[in-house]
Amino acid sequence: MPTLTDIKVPDIGDFSDVPVIDVFVRPGDTVIVDDTLVTLESDKATMDVPATIAGVIEEVLVKPGDKVSEGSLLVRVRETKDEGCREQQSISDVAPAVREIGREAERATPLPAVTTSPAAEPSSANLPHASPSIRAYARELGVDLRQIAPTGPKGRILREDVTAHVKDIMTSKGDTSAGSGPEGHLDLLPWPKVDFARFGAIDARPLSRIQKISGQNLARNWVMIPAVTYHEDADITDLEAFRVRLNKESGEGGARLTLLAFLIKACVRALQEFPVLNSSLDGDTLILKKYFHIGFAADTPNGLVVPVVKEADRKGIFEIAAETGELARQAREGKLKPVDMQGASFTVSSLGGIGGTSFSPIINAPEVAILGVNKSAMKPVWDGQSFQPRLILPLSLTADHRVIDGALATRFNVYLAQLLSDFRRVTL
Ligand code: CAO
């Protein structure tokens, strides 16, 4: 008679209500002792919870995003007697494999500069078998386990497999396909090592978790995307007067309209007119999205994050203003959920409240374009007879040249500037 055993969250120290970030098993999967079942992530660490017995998964009771504490039921296992497996351990004997913050490359990141499309998230079903210590080892080296050929029993990845994979990469010199595809290697010199303290007093400050994750994404996007930035000026004199008037009408404490909300609405209209800018490259296929989920860069004390206004085409400007305000507040308080940062089809990065005259925003892959906005300024504009003082908003559109050429990008910019100059056009 097979016995069913409940596997629960073991003692995880002071943590409670910890999110489940990965589930590695499905009903019907065979596991042996130490196979990772789920990964939990607290503010400070991630923890793999391993199988404590060998058997077949009968039921999985959690999914990514669920919150658990010590004793929460994770999976139910039908025990099998597997001669090959290690000695059975009781739950209390099992210390979760805790690792430093920072996530492995094999997992989609829910954060910043890059919002992950649901399609890009690996399913737990196709993650390879490896023990928690091997997963930790691979994470330390930044190795994607799915790229490794396993040589262990039942297709398990061994420590030697990870080492061999890394050696392979390190010794593959003379590769001329630099940057030509996801597997291409850049034949770069090692990063300069400098003992800064030799030159004066220093202070070492570790990067925040958000900075580490967004840094990796930004570096990949900068290297992989042949991006060009196109600049345009929009005359927002009338729009700003309209916005100020509406805010006055709302009165103190009333709903507040921001320029960002108008920008998002105008971008949606321009994307409808130029759908290629609302797309993603999937190999040699262009995926044109019929939805308009607009990400916006938000500056927080811990780094840059990109919350997403979903279905911005169906929302009014008051609604968008309220939503961006709320999302920006949650971003600053570190309360955004992964889902709040996923699914963007285009991004706006506004530095307008701070200043600047132009910049080159980095595309939020797998999107193909991003609009940067700086501070508007009163400028003299020649009307054919005299100079008129006009409020000019600088726009900087960075576009992926594999998909959007200069003519298309500039047409988009010109159209967007027309919409902002005369916002009635948005309704046409
Ligand atoms: N030109 C002139 N003034 C502008 C402006 C612009 N383009 N955009 C906003 N402002 C003004 C607003 O009118 C407001 O002034 P008042 O308080 O006098 O009304 C002030 O700047 C603040 O604006 P806001 O509260 O409406 O905020 P916002 O819409 O500018 O920005 C958000 C919201 C979330 C985008 C912003 O807080 C933020 O995080 N910006 C930084 C984004 C970023 O870091 N991008 C770079 C990414 S690459 O590193």
Any ligand 1 atom below 6 A from CB of 217:
no
Average pLDDT, the chain: 84
Q: Tell me what pLDDT residue 134 has.
A: 79
Residue 383, helix vs strand vs coil: coil
DSSP 322: H
Report the alpha-carbon angle 391-395-400, nearest 5.
Answer: 170
Residue nearest ligand 1's atom 5 by CA: 352
Residue 106 has pLDDT above 80, yes or no: no
Which H/E stretch holds residue 130?
strand 129-130
Higher pLDDT, 341 or 126: 341
Q: Judge whether residue 114 has pLDDT over 70.
A: no
Q: Output the residue whose Cα is nearest ligand 1's atom 27.
A: 353
Residue 151's SS3 state is coil
Q: Please check whether residue 420 is in contact with residue 390, taking contact to mean a CB–CB distance below 8 angstroms.
A: no
What number is the average pLDDT over the span 62-91? 72
Catalytic annotation on 293? Answer: no
Q: Check residue 142 and give its pLDDT.
A: 78
Report how far Cα 247 is from the mean position of its chain's Cα atoms: 33
Q: Confidence band (pLDDT; 50, 70, 90) for 171?
A: low
Least confident stretch, 152-156, 229-233, 297-301:
152-156
pLDDT on residue 44: 60
Residue 118 CB contacts under 8 Å (≥ 6 apart), including other chains: 342, 343
Averaged pLDDT, 158-182 = 63
Strand partners, 7: 75
Average pLDDT of the segment spanning 138-166: 79
Closest ligand 1 atom to the C-alpha of 261? Answer: 29
The pLDDT, as a whole number, for residue 270 is 98
Q: Is any atom of ligand 1 closer than 6 Å to the C-beta of 394?
A: no
Q: What is the pLDDT of residues 49-70, one digit of tens each?
A: 888 999 999 999 999 889 999 9
C-alpha 45 chain-centroid distance: 19
375 lines ligand 1 (CB under 6 A): yes
The CB of 363 under 6 Å from ligand 1? The reply is no
Q: Residue 14: which residues within 8 A CB-CB, separation 6 or more?
A: none
393 Cβ closer than 6 Å to some ligand 1 atom: yes
pTM: 0.64
Give residue 358 CA to ligand 1 midpoint distance, Å: 14
pLDDT for 139: 75
Q: In which band, very low, low, confident or very high, does the pLDDT at 13 lie, cut at 50, 70 and 90?
A: confident
Which of the following is catalytic: 165, 185, 231, 401? Answer: 401
pLDDT exceeds cutoff 70 at 7: yes
* Atom 9 of ligand 1, nearest CA residue: 353
pLDDT digits (tens, 9 = 90+) for 196-238: 999 999 999 999 888 898 899 999 999 999 999 999 999 999 9
Do the beta carbons of residue 150 and residue 128 sit within 8 Å? yes
